[in-house]
Every structure is written in structure tokens, then in C-alpha cells.
């Protein structure tokens, strides 16, 4: 099944913009790590809190989380607890990634799984 990354392209770009804003020194060789949730109109853990507050509920069942860097175990846990059904990852994190790089938490049969997860790595 092809991964429909074209439909997530604007969200990926927005997540990169958000990550770049958070860099302490844009000239340093840091990756712009950002996350954006798009669901019924809302733009990792702070993004989940903001989305829940904006929607007035903690279950984000109609949302998609787009993140520039593969979430670690804590963030994946928060994504599960918020019932986010779709996760889009731009770049894998081979050191701490819990989607498929280091761990494959999202497809663990013992947990409520994400309905869909899509990726497009910007790494070569």
C-alpha cells in the first residue's frame, strides 16, 4: 500500500517551521524538532495538551499528529493515551525512536494500536 505523504506535506512543513522556531541557536547543527496536530482544526506532549485544551477533550480521536522526529517512548505513550489514530513521522530517530527505529511500540499487539502511521524520511 503506498504511503500518502503528499496529503501530509503542508503539515510536515509546518512542523519543521515550529521546530526551527524552538532552536536556541539556528546556526548550530541541531535538528528542528517540532510536532503539529491537525484534527478538527488544531495545530509530542505540549502539542497534545494544546490540542486537548483547544478541543475541550483529552481524546483526540479525530486528529493526526505530524512530527519532524520519531517520538520516543514517553511521547508514544502520551499519543496512545490521547487516542490519536494517525501518526506521521518525517525523520526516524535511531537513538530514541519508539515507532520503528529502536522500538516498535506502535504495533505492539498488547497495546491499543494507532490505526495508521505514515512516514517519509528526509534522511538519505
> Which residues are designated catalytic?
44
Cell of 37: 496536530
Q: How far is CA 86 from the centre of its chain?
A: 9
Cα(52)–Cα(50) distance, integer angstroms? 5
Angle at the Cα of 106 from the Cα atoms of 105 and 112, rounded to 5 degrees = 110
Cell of 49: 495538551
Rg (CA), the chain: 14
Query: Do the beta carbons of residue 75 and residue 99 sit within 8 Å?
Result: no
Amino acid at each position: 500500500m503506498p504511503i500518502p505523504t503528499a496529503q501530509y506535506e503542508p503539515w510536515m512543513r509546518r512542523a519543521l517551521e515550529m521546530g526551527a522556531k524552538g532552536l536556541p541557536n539556528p546556526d548550530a547543527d541541531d535538528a528542528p524538532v517540532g510536532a503539529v496536530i491537525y484534527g478538527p482544526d488544531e495545530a509530542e506532549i505540549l502539542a497534545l495538551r494544546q490540542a486537548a485544551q483547544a478541543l475541550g477533550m483529552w481524546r483526540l480521536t479525530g486528529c493526526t499528529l505530524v512530527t519532524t522526529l520519531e517520538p520516543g517512548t514517553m511521547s508514544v505513550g502520551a499519543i496512545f493515551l490521547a487516542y490519536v489514530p494517525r501518526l506521521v513521522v518525517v525523520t526516524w530517530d535511531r537513538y530514541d525512536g519508539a515507532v520503528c527505529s529502536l522500538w516498535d511500540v506502535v504495533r505492539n499487539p498488547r497495546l491499543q494500536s494507532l490505526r495508521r502511521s505514515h512516514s517519509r524520511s528526509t534522511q538519505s
